[in-house]
């Protein structure tokens, strides 16, 4: 899987980057020209965006060529046998990121204080990743409690920072 070229992914990525580059160029159009020197604050972002668009376009050209080459090779050789490697768990990764977003959101909105939010986050996410095995639950509880309250104490009492 990893070894095979993924021209389609490259094309998508490059298109996204080209879009970002265009947004940047658009966003710098109304900036004033330089007052103290000839470049001003728009020139360099524009130059960088143009450079990026150029390389993204080049990547697309490259990927298209690769795709053609791949298609030709596959037509000749038939389907290659994918070896049954480990199943990629995109679901778990997505779940963890979603949990993290909720975790941060809950603190940003001030719904839960840091210690409680962290406790909940650790219990749910570690539980999810380890499939809620009964074996790990005691260790999980100790760890989550210790980290959540320990860190809160450390960062609000010892090092005074403004945790939510």
Partner 1 sequence: MTDLADGFLYTFGAYPLFLITLGTVLGITVGAIPGLTGAMLIALTLPFTFYMPPVEGICLLVSMYVGAISGGLITATLLRMPGTPASVMTTFDGYPMARSGRPGRALGLGITASFVGGLISWVFLATLSQPLSDFAVRFGPFEYFTLVLMALVLIASVTQGSMIKGLLSGFLGMLVAMPGVDPSAGDLRLTFGYHELDAGLNLLPVLIGVFAVGQVISDIVGIEERAEAVTMDRRGIFLSVRDWMRHGLNMVRSSLIGTWVGILPGVGANIGSIIAYSGAKTFSKHPERFGTGSEEGIIASESANNATVGGALIPLIAMGIPGSVIDAILLGALLIHSIQPGPLLFVNNPEVVYTMIATALVANVIMFAVMLGAVGQVARLRSVPRAFLMPIILVFCVIGSYALGNRMFDVWVMLFFGVVGYFLERSRVPLGPFVIGLVLAPIAEESLRSGLMLSAGSYAPLVTRPISAVFLALSVVLLVWPIWRHYRQHRGARRGSH
Partner 2 sequence: MRMLSTLGLALGALLLAAQGPAVADFPEKPIKIVVPFGAGGNTDGLARMFQKAIQDENLLGAPLVIVNVPGAGGSIGARRVKDSEADGYTLLLMHIALLSGEAAGLMDFGYRDFEPVAATADSCLVTAVMEDAPWAGLPELLADAKARPDAIIHGANLGAVNHMAGLMVEGASPGSKFRFVQIGGGAANFKALKGGHTQVAHITLAEYSSFRAGGVKALAYLTGERHPDVPDLPTAKELGYDLDFCLQNWWFAPKGTPRDRIDRIAAVLEKAMQSDYVKQIMRERMNAPTFLGPDALAAKLTKDYAMIAPIAQKAKQK
Residues contributing to the site for partner 2 (CB under 8 A): 35-36, 160-162
For partner 1, the closer CB: 3 or 77 = 3
Nearest to 141 by CA among 154, 156, 130: 130
Nearest to 47 by CA among 15, 21, 20: 21
**CB distance 14 to 56 below 8 Å:** yes
Any contact of residue 130 with partner 1 (CB under 8 A)?
Answer: yes
Two structure tokens written together for 11:
């094309």
Nearest to 145 by CA among 164, 110, 121: 121
Binding site for partner 1 (CB under 8 A): 6, 9-10, 13-14, 17, 20-21, 24, 27-28, 31-32, 34-42, 44-45, 48-49, 51-52, 55-56, 58-59, 62, 85-90, 92-93, 96-97, 100-101, 103-104, 107-108, 118, 121-122, 125-126, 129-130, 136, 139-140, 143, 147, 151, 155, 159-164
């Amino acid at each position: 899987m990893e070894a095979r070229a993924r021209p389609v992914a490259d094309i998508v990525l490059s298109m996204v980057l080209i879009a970002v580059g265009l947004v940047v160029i658009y966003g710098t159009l109304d900036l004033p020209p330089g007052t103290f020197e000839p470049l001003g604050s728009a020139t360099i972002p524009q130059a960088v965006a143009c450079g990026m668009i150029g390389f993204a376009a080049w990547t697309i050209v490259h990927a298209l060529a690769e795709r053609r080459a791949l298609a030709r090779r596959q037509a000749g050789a038939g389907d290659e046998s994918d070896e049954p490697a480990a199943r990629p768990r995109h679901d778990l990764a997505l779940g963890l990121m979603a949990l993290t977003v909720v975790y941060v959101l809950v603190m940003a909105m001030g719904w839960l204080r840091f210690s409680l939010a962290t406790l909940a986050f650790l219990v749910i996410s570690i539980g999810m990743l380890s499939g809620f095995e009964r074996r790990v639950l005691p260790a999980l509880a100790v760890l989550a409690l210790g980290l959540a309250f320990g860190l809160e104490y450390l960062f609000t009492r010892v090092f005074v920072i403004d945790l939510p």
